[in-house]
Structure 1
Amino acid sequence: MLEFIAHMLVGTPIWVYVLFVFLLIRGIKARQPATVTLERLAIIPLIFLVWDLYDLVLYRHLTLGVVMLWIAVLIIGAALGFWLIKPERVSRGSASRTLNRQADYSALPLMMLAFAIKYVFGVMAAVSPQTMQQPAMSATAVVVGGLFAGSFIGKYSRYLQCYFGRMQKVN
């Protein structure tokens, strides 16, 4: 078992470790109130969306059913993420395109859980590609990826709603 874990860690591409450290740092920083730009807030949703699209194209047989499942779960995840950000805890920053946000205690666990699950699925795809092609495993990967990508998109959507909604009230 230890040999497998060592082989798995050695075989992991460097970009995965860089991404892990980046997500860990961002998740820890999210636990503190901060003033952030809209562009900076978009980084995490963009990472998970691109990563999930990459996985879909590379590892799934894209049928209409798979795409529809992914879109449906993405929407459900977005609703969850949207709900997690409370608008009364967000205000427009004094600088252009910034928001003052309270501590986000959901960011670190969501990012680490999403990363861990996607990492395990990546290892499974490398070790046993036929396992990941089985309908149940493939559907599980589609659902999990869509939920996490959607949750980060939903959070960002709520931040955008807070920014643009408050901007209209000020002007």
Structure 2
Amino acid sequence: MLQLFVSHTPIWVWVLLAFLVMRGVMAMKPGETSLSKLAIVPGLFTAWGVWSINVRYPASWEAWALWMVGIAAGAGIGWMLLRRVQLRVEPATGKLWRGADYSLLPLLLVTFVVKYGFEAALAMSPALVADSGFRAAYLLLSGGFTGIFIGKYCRYLVASRARAQDLVAPVG
């Protein structure tokens, strides 16, 4: 059965997995980065979620509402995960220096597995689209995991803006 999953999975999914693993491993090392690089992961999962809703539940305001509820809950979790983030703006480069983030790789892997599992279930049994319990679980979890990455990004964004203002604020 595993061979069936692997052989029917599009190549872009494996490329995405490799990219996510690479991002997760890189996040375990403190270093400089930019807000645009930090936006890639939330952007990818947001795009995947929008695509999924448009394909699976076109014109369904309920699907969008469930996904947005998941995003809101996940964003709160993501925000809290980085509540003690150490971040500073390097004046010379304008880049952010952030500490190691050991939560990113496990979150990426769990998110990928959950999304992949739901998509595989829908591919094997398209009738699940009409199942309200499946739909709620799928959209809430998909939105929730996407929200975690959005919340983490928002935390970086707010911390970056606050530190940048501190650097340019007049003294005295």
TM bucket by the smaller chain?
over 0.9
Counterpart AA for 1:92: V
Q: Secondary structure of the residue that 2:33 maps to in structure 1?
A: strand
Residue range with higher mean Cα deviation, 56-65 or 127-136:
56-65
Deviations 1:84-116 (CA, angstroms, capped at 9, x unpaired): 113551111244441111111110111000000
Alignment map for 1:145-156 (pairs within 5 Å): 145-156=142-153
Q: In percent, how many aligned pairs have the same letter? A: 34
Q: Does 1:69 align with 2:52?
A: no
Residues 87 and 158 in structure 1, CA contact (< 8 A), matched pair in contact too:
no
> How many residues are matched?
168
Residues 85 and 98 in structure 2, CA contact (< 8 A), matched pair in contact too:
no
The normalised TM-score by structure 1 is 0.92
Distance (whole Å) between structure 2 residues aligned to residue 7 and residue 73 of structure 1: 31
Residues 85 and 99 in structure 2, CA contact (< 8 A), matched pair in contact too:
no
Residue 162 of structure 1 corresponds to which residue in structure 2? 159
Unaligned runs of 5+ in 1: none
Alignment map for 1:36-75 (pairs within 5 Å): 36-75=33-72
Q: Secondary structure of the residue that 1:105 maps to in structure 2?
A: coil
Find 2:99's aligned residue among 88, 99, 102.
102
Distance (whole Å) between structure 2 residues aligned to residue 88 and residue 81 of structure 1: 12
Residues 42 and 146 in structure 2, CA contact (< 8 A), matched pair in contact too:
yes
Alignment map for 1:88-127 (pairs within 5 Å): 88-127=85-124
Q: Does 1:16 align with 2:13?
A: yes
Find 2:32's aligned residue among 35, 42, 57.
35
Distance (whole Å) between structure 2 residues aligned to residue 162 and residue 95 of structure 1: 18
Find 1:84's aligned residue among 62, 81, 85.
81
Distance (whole Å) between structure 2 residues aligned to residue 107 and residue 50 of structure 1: 19
Counterpart AA for 2:6: L
Deviations 1:5-64 (CA, angstroms, capped at 9, x unpaired): 212101100000000001011111111111101111110010011011111111125433
Distance (whole Å) between structure 1 residues aligned to residue 37 and residue 155 of structure 2: 14
Distance 1:97 1:136, change over 3 A: farther
Runs of 4 or more above 2 Å deviation: 60-66, 93-97
- How big is the alpha-carbon RMSD for the aligned residues of Structure 1 and Structure 2? 1.4
Residues 87 and 162 in structure 1, CA contact (< 8 A), matched pair in contact too:
no
